[in-house]
Amino acid sequence: MKKLSFNSKHYPVFVTLGLFLVMYLFGSAKYTGFSSPQVFFNLFIDNAFLIIVAVGMTFVILSGGIDLSVGSVIALTSMVTASLIENAQLSPWIVLPIALLIGTTLGLIMGCLIHFYNLQPFIVTLAGMFLARGLSYLISVETIAITNPFFQYVASTKLYFGEFFISISVIIAIIVILAAVFIAHYTKFGRTIYAIGGSEQSALLMGLPVGRTKILIYTMSGFCSSLAGIVFTFYMLSGYGLHANGLELDAIAAVVIGGTLLTGGVGYVAGSVVGVLILGIIQTLIVFEGTLSSWWTKIAIGVLLLLFIVFQRVSVLRTENKKVTISQH
């Protein structure tokens, strides 16, 4: 009889999924109404934009990089969208492609700078973060409310499943997830990302298109950020320079809690999605408790992040020790 075995790379994802189930069961046992399917659906409705950002961030971190510009790109996208819709009175079908080009173009520029000039992703994307946030305030320092009928319709439309519903933004997030899973696991581009994260030097020696792939990774992350900005605009129905302030840290936390190694090479899109749901369920537990400050969300995320980083480090050390032991024998 063949013995069942699990790849050690899958352990962080199983831990993440187990943590989510424990938290969900705890909430269901303690709070009336927590087990309602609508509460579960609300995790997706309220975090659709964060899921999209986390998907793009997953590819970046898998390659061993980082993208600090995502929150600012969301803000800039919301401001450009709101300004063109309300002030310039342009059609949404003209505005939406323009909005998507914002993050995509910035991501392409950052990817080129990182590759061609061998700059650190942290510094380049930090500059991108300041640039995008500053451009948001150049458009307006005030909130621009969106009253366009199309945006109002998308924001208010509910897709019902019996008594329960989801929003159009959730459908967009699900499409992004499915596309990302396919890209990561069933394309040469996805396999190259894992190879770069495992060892960029080895990927170069294997003749893989490392430079082109790195540029595409940051372009994809920028595209996801702008798409998330549009979804966020549907959610808030406004543009504002302070929108998504600090969201890049939430996205990184979700990806790491989802089991992706910060050093790259190991991780799964599905794990990042569960990581976002864990952040959402923490907020939901605090809302149901009713007596706790919203700052407890940040405290809980911080504790979880530290625990998962330690867990990742222990897993890596155990794997390295096994390799050393095998090589000695």
Domains of the chain listed by start with CATH number: 8-323 (1.10.3470)
Locate 151 and state its tokens: 């945006």
pLDDT band at 218 (very low <50, low <70, confident <90, very high): very high
**Could you tell me the end-to-end alpha-carbon distance of the chain, in angstroms, rounded to an integer?**
27
253-270 residue pLDDT tens: 999 999 999 889 999 999
pLDDT of residue 6: 54
Residues 74-101 have pLDDT tens digits of 999 999 999 999 999 999 999 999 999 9
**Residue scoring higher pLDDT (181 or 301):** 181
311, pLDDT greater than 90 = no
Q: Which segment of 117-121, 276-280, 294-298 scores lowest on mean pLDDT?
A: 294-298
Which pLDDT score is estimated for 297? 86
Quote the mean pLDDT of the chain.
92
Mean pLDDT to the nearest integer, 213-242 = 97
Distance of alpha carbon 157 from alpha carbon 145, whole angstroms: 19
Percent of the chain with pLDDT over 70: 94
Structure tokens at 257: 């809690």
Decide: residue 328, CB within 10 A, 0-12 exposed, 13-18 middle, 19+ buried.
Answer: exposed
Confidence check: pLDDT of 3 > 60: no
Paired tokens of 86? 């309300």
Q: Is 90 exceeded by the pLDDT of residue 13? A: no
Beta strand pairing call for 238-239 and 144-145 = antiparallel
Tell whether pTM > 0.75.
yes
pLDDT grade for 2, boundaries at 50, 70 and 90: very low
d(CA 248, CA 84): 25
What pLDDT score was predicted for residue 1?
44
pLDDT at 4 over 60: no
